[in-house]
């Protein structure tokens, strides 16, 4: 495979139960330290791509190489041991647990939690309150902040900006860019293109389960891509 590939998908086909394929032979590479933004409309198969990469859904055909090793048959837990982290759509925090308890699940060392509080004073001020009482943006920052202390080899972020106000979206993307600076390669899946393009090195456009365009960010024109592929089929 390509030199320095953290993730290499080749000919990946996947779907649910006895249903038709949702992904129809996806090829995608994420190199060490790279941010690859996968853009696509609602229902294009973006979350399915995240699940297949994270090991939550088996692919029906094709290869999944993680850190150069064939991982298609590996479980989500086995992949997490190889440094793969999935940040699911909808944040993945526990609303009934306090901020401190949520952080402790990711960061057992108190000094790591203190580092998060130092960086995000809004969380520090409310460490004993239920995470569910935070705004959506604060919840997303709570979910992602531990990545700074424990940067994974590969982060799969499924629509991290979903439902957030524009100002918070900027903060979330700044945080993701900072995680990359610590050595994480990022598969960033987004429906809204503009913010994702701001931090991406490479862009891939997914339409109806196929990568229909890929290239460096500088060459990506999301409006033209959307015009060309939305409503296709
Ligand atoms: P969204 O932005 O809505 O999450 P998406 O691009 O992430 O869209 P997917 O969620 O991957 O798209 O869905 C792609 C297709 O797979 C859709 O037709 C959807 O109905 C189907 N699908 C997704 N999840 C399941 C599931 N758990 N069981 C059956 N079909 C599913």
CA of 43 to the centre of ligand 1 (A): 5
Strand-pair category, 210-216 with 202-207: antiparallel
Q: pLDDT, tens digit, for every residue of 9-64? A: 999 999 999 999 999 999 999 999 999 999 998 899 999 999 999 999 999 999 99
- What's the pLDDT score for residue 193? 75
CA of 56 to the centre of ligand 1 (A): 14
Atom of ligand 1 nearest to the CA of 45: 11
Taking CB atoms and a 6 Å cutoff, what residues make up the pocket around ligand 1? 16, 19, 22, 40, 42-48, 191
CA of 149 to the centre of ligand 1 (A): 32
Strand-pair category, 185-190 with 35-39: parallel
The closest residue, in CA terms, to atom 9 on ligand 1 is 45
The whole-model pTM stands at: 0.92
**Residue tagged 């409309």 (tokens):** 41
Greatest distance between any 2 Cα atoms in the chain: 53
């Amino acid at each position: 495979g390509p030199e320095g590939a953290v993730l290499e998908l080749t000919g990946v086909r996947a779907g649910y139960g006895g249903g038709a394929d949702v992904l129809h032979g996806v090829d995608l590479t994420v190199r060490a330290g790279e941010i690859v933004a996968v853009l696509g409309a609602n229902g294009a198969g973006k979350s399915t791509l995240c699940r297949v990469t994270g090991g939550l859904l088996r692919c029906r055909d094709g290869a999944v190489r993680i850190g150069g090793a064939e991982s298609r048959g590996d479980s989500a837990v086995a992949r997490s041991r190889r440094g793969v982290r999935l940040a699911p759509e909808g944040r993945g925090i526990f609303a009934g647990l306090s901020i401190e308890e949520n952080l402790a699940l990711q960061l057992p060392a108190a000094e790591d939690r203190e580092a998060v509080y130092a960086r995000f004073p809004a969380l520090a001020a409310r460490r004993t309150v239920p995470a569910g009482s935070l705004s959506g943006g604060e919840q997303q920052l709570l979910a992602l902040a531990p990545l700074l202390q424990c940067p994974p080899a590969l982060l799969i972020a499924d629509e991290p900006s979903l439902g957030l106000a524009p100002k918070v979206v900027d903060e979330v993307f700044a945080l993701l860019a900072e995680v990359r600076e610590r050595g994480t390669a990022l598969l960033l899946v987004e429906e809204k293109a503009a913010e994702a393009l701001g931090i991406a090195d490479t862009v891939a456009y997914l339409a109806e389960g196929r990568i229909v365009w890929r290239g460096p960010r500088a060459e990506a024109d999301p409006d033209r891509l959307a015009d060309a592929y939305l409503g296709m089929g």
